[in-house]
Amino acid sequence: MEDQLDQLVGKDGCPKCGSENITPVKYTWWGGVLGPKILHHTKCNACKFLYNSKTRKSNTTGIIVYSVILFVIAFVVFFLLRTSFSF
Protein backbone atom coordinates (compact mmCIF):
# COMPACT_ATOMS: atom_id res chain seq x y z
CA MET A 1 0.00 0.00 0.00
CA GLU A 2 2.77 2.43 0.88
CA ASP A 3 4.49 1.83 -2.43
CA GLN A 4 1.29 2.59 -4.31
CA LEU A 5 0.85 5.82 -2.37
CA ASP A 6 4.39 6.89 -3.15
CA GLN A 7 3.73 6.38 -6.83
CA LEU A 8 0.61 8.50 -6.72
CA VAL A 9 2.20 11.35 -4.79
CA GLY A 10 4.33 13.57 -6.96
CA LYS A 11 3.14 11.99 -10.18
CA ASP A 12 4.11 15.07 -12.14
CA GLY A 13 6.93 16.12 -9.84
CA CYS A 14 10.41 14.89 -9.09
CA PRO A 15 10.54 11.08 -8.63
CA LYS A 16 13.13 11.51 -5.90
CA CYS A 17 11.83 14.28 -3.64
CA GLY A 18 8.36 14.92 -5.07
CA SER A 19 9.01 18.61 -5.78
CA GLU A 20 7.08 20.16 -8.63
CA ASN A 21 9.87 22.66 -9.22
CA ILE A 22 11.13 20.85 -12.33
CA THR A 23 12.37 22.15 -15.67
CA PRO A 24 13.09 20.32 -18.92
CA VAL A 25 16.78 20.35 -19.79
CA LYS A 26 17.37 22.18 -23.07
CA TYR A 27 21.08 21.55 -23.53
CA THR A 28 23.67 19.14 -22.17
CA TRP A 29 27.38 18.61 -22.79
CA TRP A 30 26.83 14.98 -23.81
CA GLY A 31 23.83 15.37 -26.10
CA GLY A 32 23.79 18.98 -27.26
CA VAL A 33 20.23 20.09 -28.00
CA LEU A 34 18.96 16.80 -29.42
CA GLY A 35 20.06 14.37 -26.69
CA PRO A 36 18.00 15.74 -23.78
CA LYS A 37 14.99 16.08 -26.09
CA ILE A 38 15.12 12.42 -27.13
CA LEU A 39 15.61 11.22 -23.54
CA HIS A 40 12.96 13.61 -22.06
CA HIS A 41 15.72 14.88 -19.83
CA THR A 42 14.27 16.79 -16.87
CA LYS A 43 15.93 18.47 -13.92
CA CYS A 44 14.56 18.92 -10.42
CA ASN A 45 15.50 22.34 -9.08
CA ALA A 46 14.98 21.25 -5.49
CA CYS A 47 17.38 18.28 -5.27
CA LYS A 48 19.20 18.64 -8.64
CA PHE A 49 18.10 15.14 -9.66
CA LEU A 50 18.21 14.52 -13.43
CA TYR A 51 15.76 12.03 -14.85
CA ASN A 52 13.62 10.94 -17.79
CA SER A 53 10.18 12.55 -17.47
CA LYS A 54 8.61 9.68 -19.42
CA THR A 55 10.05 6.70 -17.53
CA ARG A 56 10.53 8.73 -14.31
CA LYS A 57 13.90 7.06 -13.84
CA SER A 58 17.48 8.25 -13.94
CA ASN A 59 18.76 8.87 -17.45
CA THR A 60 22.23 7.43 -16.86
CA THR A 61 21.64 4.36 -19.05
CA GLY A 62 20.03 6.50 -21.74
CA ILE A 63 22.99 8.87 -21.75
CA ILE A 64 25.44 5.96 -22.14
CA VAL A 65 23.38 4.44 -24.98
CA TYR A 66 23.08 7.85 -26.64
CA SER A 67 26.85 8.41 -26.38
CA VAL A 68 27.63 4.95 -27.77
CA ILE A 69 25.25 5.45 -30.72
CA LEU A 70 26.79 8.87 -31.44
CA PHE A 71 30.27 7.34 -31.27
CA VAL A 72 29.28 4.56 -33.70
CA ILE A 73 27.71 7.08 -36.12
CA ALA A 74 30.84 9.26 -35.92
CA PHE A 75 33.03 6.23 -36.54
CA VAL A 76 30.95 5.10 -39.56
CA VAL A 77 30.95 8.62 -41.05
CA PHE A 78 34.70 8.86 -40.51
CA PHE A 79 35.21 5.44 -42.11
CA LEU A 80 33.01 6.29 -45.12
CA LEU A 81 34.76 9.63 -45.63
CA ARG A 82 38.13 7.93 -45.45
CA THR A 83 37.08 5.32 -47.98
CA SER A 84 35.58 7.74 -50.48
CA PHE A 85 38.39 10.27 -50.26
CA SER A 86 41.35 7.92 -50.22
CA PHE A 87 43.95 8.69 -52.84
Q: Is 44 in the site for Zn ion (CB under 5 A)?
A: yes
Task: Specify the residue, 25 or 44, whose C-beta has the smaller distance to Zn ion.
Answer: 44
Determine the size of the site formed for Zn ion (CB under 5 A): 8
Closer residue to Zn ion (CB): 40 or 70: 40
Site residues for Zn ion, 57-86, by CB under 5 A, read none
HEC string for the chain: CHHHHHHHCCCCCCCCCCCCCEEECCCECCCECHHHHHCCEEEECCCCCEEECCCCEECHHHHHHHHHHHHHHHHHHHHHHHHHCCC
Decide: is 17 part of the binding site for Zn ion (CB under 5 A): yes
Shorter beta-carbon distance to Zn ion: residue 54 or 82: 54
